[in-house]
Amino acid sequence: MGVMIEGVWHAEEPASGSADDGKYRRSVSAFRNWVTPDGAPGGEGCVGGFAAEAGRYHLYVALNCPWAHRTMIVRVLKGLEDVVSLDAVLPRRSAEGWIFAAPPEANSDSLLGSHALHKIYAAADTAFSGRVTVPVLWDKKRRTIVSNESSEIIRMLNSAFDDVGANGADLYPTELRGDIDRVNERVYRSVNNGVYRAGFARSQEAYEEAFDELFEALDMLEARLATRRYLCGDMPSEADWRLFPTLMRFDVAYFGAFKCNLRRIQDYPNLWGYVRELYQMQGIAATCDLDVYKQGYYSISELRNPLGIVPKGPAVDFSTPHGRRNVNDRIGQSAAVS
C-alpha cells in the first residue's frame, strides 16, 4: 500500500499492518491538534493557534473510506459546507497511495493542485514518517495538517464552529457522553474496525475471531434498536453516525470483499430499517456512493483480489420506506418518544 519515510513516499512498505499472529492492527494517527473556537490548544500536548474561522480549513476525504465518511456527514449535519471546503481523492489507490485527478477534473486537489495525498503530508511535515491516510483536516492559513484522526475531526466540527456559521445541532450532548462513549468503543472495535480485522487477517484464527466478534456486536445492535429508535438518546447522535458508514458499505463490500458473510444488514430487520432511515435524512444520501465503495474495496490486491474485478451486484436500495417514523420533523420525533 505504500508508506512515507522521512518525507519520502515508498511504494514498497517494509512491513504490513499485520503482525506475526496474523491479526490486523490499525496504526495510530499522527496529526492530533484541534480547531477550537478561540485557538486555545485542544488538549494536553496539543499545539494551539487553530482558531475556528469560516473558509480557513479544508477536508481531504475518500468517498469509499468509512472514517472519512463520518467527517463528511458531520460537515453536512452542522451546515458547514460553505465554511469548511472539501476535496475527494480518486477511489482506487495507486502505487503512490491516494491520488488526485488533474485539476479542474472531479477528484482533483482544488486547493493545492497536488497529484497525490502524500504531497500534502510532506507539505505539513517535510520529515513525516507514517501512513498517508484520509481524512485530513488542512489549515490553509498555517499550511499544515491540523488532524488526520476522524474521531477527533468530527468532535471539532461538532463543537468549534458554532460562532462562525455552523448550526447549533449537538451530536455529543453532555448528558449522553458516557453512553455514547461506551457504544462507540464497542462499535469501533467490533464493527468499524472489526470488518477490517476480518478482511485484512492473515490467519484463519485471526479472521474467525474478528468475524465472531463482528456478528455478536451486530446482534447486540439489532437487539438495542428493537426498543430504541437510535443508539443513544432520542435523536441521532455521534454514535449513530459512526456506525452508519460501516452499515452502508456492508452488503456491497464487506460481505464479499472482507468475507463478513454470516448475514447481510438486509437480514436484520431493525438495522436495515435504521440504516435506511439515516440514509434518507437530509443531505446524507449525497455523501454516499455504492459504486465507489465497490471500486474501492475491490481494488487490485495481491491478497484479496489479484485481478481487480469488481462485482456487478448486489442490488441494494436504501431509498425504500424504512418503517421508522420521519425524524427530520422534530415534532414527529417528540411525539414518537412520548
Q: Would you tell me which residues interact with ligand GSH (CB under 6 A)?
A: 1, 29, 65, 67, 97, 131-135, 148-151
User: Exposed (0-12), middle (13-18) or buried (19+): which is 170, by Cβ within 10 Å?
Assistant: middle
Q: Which one, 18 or 151, has the nearer CB to ligand GSH?
A: 151
Nearer to ligand GSH, 42 or 97 (CB): 97
Omega within 30 of 0 (cis) for the link into 66 = no
Among residues 8 and 337, whose Cβ is nearest to ligand GSH? 8
Cell numbers at 83, concatenated: 465554511
Q: Are strands 144-147 and 84-88 parallel, antiparallel or unpaired?
A: unpaired
Q: Cα(307)–Cα(102) distance, rounded to whole angstroms?
A: 26
CA distance 167 to 196: 34
In the complex, least distance from residue 322 CB atom to ligand GSH, rounded to whole angstroms: 27
- Give the gyration radius of the chain's Cα atoms: 20
Nearer to ligand GSH, 9 or 207 (CB): 9
- Residue 248 to residues 85, 124, 152, 253: CA-CA distances in angstroms? 24, 32, 21, 9
Which of 193, 165, 224, 203 shows the shortest CA–CA distance to 37? 165
Handedness of CA 31, 133, 29, 290 (dihedral sign): positive
**Cβ 196 to ligand GSH, closest distance in Å?**
8
Around Cβ 14, how many Cβ atoms within 10 Å? 7
- In the complex, the smallest distance separating the C-beta of residue 200 from ligand GSH, rounded to whole angstroms, is 10
Supply the minimum distance, in Å, between the C-beta of residue 1 and ligand GSH.
5
Peptide bond into 104 cis (omega under 30): yes
Q: How far is the CB of 43 from ligand GSH (least distance, A)?
A: 17
d(CA 281, CA 324): 12
**Closest CB to ligand GSH among residues 156, 225:** 156
Distance CA 69, CA 245 (A): 6
**Quick one: 96 or 170, whose CB is closer to ligand GSH?**
96
Cα separation of 167 and 38, whole Å? Answer: 18
Smallest gap from Cβ 153 to ligand GSH, in A, equals: 7
- In the three-class reduction of DSSP (H, G, I as helix; E, B as strand; rest coil), residue 87 is classed as strand
Task: Report which of 314, 282, 186, 193 is spatially closest to residue 245, judged by C-alpha positions.
Answer: 193
Q: Is 324 exposed, middle or buried (0-12, 13-18, 19+ CB in 10 A)?
A: middle
Q: How far is the CB of 222 from ligand GSH (least distance, A)?
A: 25
Which one, 90 or 235, has the nearer CB to ligand GSH?
90
Could you list the active site residues? 65, 196
